[in-house]
Structure 1
Amino acid sequence: MTRLGFVIDKKSCIACHACAVACKVENNLPDGIWWNRILTEGGDNMDTPDGTYPNLTMANIAVACQHCDNPACVKVCPVGATYKDPDTGAVRQDYDKCIGCRMCMSACPYTGVRSFNWEEPNYAIGQAMGDADVPTHQKHVVEKCTMCWHRLAKGLEPACVEVCPARVRYFGDFDDPNSEVSKLIREREHTKLLENRGTNPSVYYLV
């Protein structure tokens, strides 16, 4: 068995957004679409702290599809367009099957990790610039993080992990006790998003 996922070190994230940009470019995401976002736990605006100087607090949190072991989205998809990959544990989307009902978006407890293409995809430079193996984006289709499955097929890490300058993103197999991600969650205090929802996310945050 294989259960691939991410470990993200919240303490060391510098909110450079390199992971979000790399994801957008690698996956040829249309204008206005982001699969990976860096949110600020602090003030009312991005990159602003909470509190009054000198008593300020701020943290960064990377949010994308949590690739749940018990995904709510898969259960509600009426056509099987949202499915769990048996080889990797990744939650995937089949664009050709998707009917645009957005039931998966409604069922997912992680707000904003999925997007919907209301119109034909448009690009800032007028043409595709991502990996040639990325499926063509379509109108009226739900999209989200794919774990860069096209890169995994070549033995590469997801683009967001490869480009992180602070090296706060880790990727591996949680079913392998000797993997780096397994060792990290054994040795470091960590949390997961909305653990009380029973989805069992495959993204762990070191705190």
Structure 2
Amino acid sequence: MLDRRSILKMAAGGAMLAIVPSAQLQAKTPGKRLAMVFDVRRCTGCLSCTVSCAMENQTEAGRGRTRVNQACIEQGDSFATLAVPNQCNQCDNPACVYVCPVEATYKREEDGIVVIDHEECIHCQLCVDACPYGARRKDETLETPPEKCNFCIHRVSAGLLPACVETCIGEARSFGDLNDPKSKVSQLVRDNKVYAMLSESGTKPNIFYIGLPEQADDQEILSLNFLEWQR
């Protein structure tokens, strides 16, 4: 249930969502530029993404790699409820990489995916605090590496879609190479107003949103309640 105290107000001040110019998104970079687009107008909040992600990647309870935040937005005399997915933004300028003391977190040159080398990770969890999106799930015991989305790298390497994209019943998630003008994500960012969370932070995320209110505060969206599926 959505707590009414978590209602997202259309407030003045704060960090408003910023439109990302399609020309900027479609600027060619070396190799692939894998990205995901969330169309919140199509997201039903069914949590098929979180369930399939947890099952595919065998994550522990409470440490899922993707979440769906629940936002209730005031619109005149009524309220509109939005389901807003949140996960690792696969940033071009990732804060998590810079704080890792052993370089266990790095960004792959061939496709831009930010990954954790579980063999090299020393479980210090510094990257958890460094991520401005709250997208890393800490191991409170410090015995294992943090959990984060890596676009189901094992599936993508085999030519498959990430599990969350394949199981999304509303087709709210799209995945592909922004450097490929024929890809669905490239077409979506070309034909729609596309927003990025915390664009002013300089992280240059590769997760984009369609259908969010322009006057919404992205920091508040990221801190809203989220639904957790029951195992």
**TM-score using structure 1 length:** 0.83
Instruction: Note the residue ranges of structure 2 that are not aligned, 5 or more in a row.
Output: 1-30, 212-231
How much has 1:177 moved relative to structure 2?
A: 2.1
Q: Is the contact made by 2:64 and 2:147 (CA closer than 8 Å) also made in structure 1? A: no
Percent pairwise identity: 39
Say yes or no: does 1:114 pair with 2:144.
no
How much has 1:154 moved relative to structure 2?
A: 1.0
Deviations 1:36-89 (A, max 9, x none): 1110111xxxxxx6579x611221100000000111111111101100011210
Distance in 2 separating the partners of 1:187 and 1:162: 23
SS of aligned partner of 2:140: coil
Distance in 1 separating the partners of 2:193 and 2:127: 31
Paired position in structure 2 for 1:159: 163
* Count of residues in correspondence between the two structures: 181
Say yes or no: does 1:65 pair with 2:77.
no
Paired position in structure 2 for 1:90: 113
SS of aligned partner of 2:41: helix
Say yes or no: does 1:10 pair with 2:40.
yes
Paired position in structure 2 for 1:168: 172
Paired position in structure 2 for 1:27: 57
Paired position in structure 2 for 1:130: none
Q: Which amino acid aligns with 1:158?
A: P
Say yes or no: does 1:186 pair with 2:190.
yes
Q: Which amino acid aligns with 1:13?
A: C
Paired position in structure 2 for 1:74: 97
Q: Which amino acid aligns with 1:71?
A: P
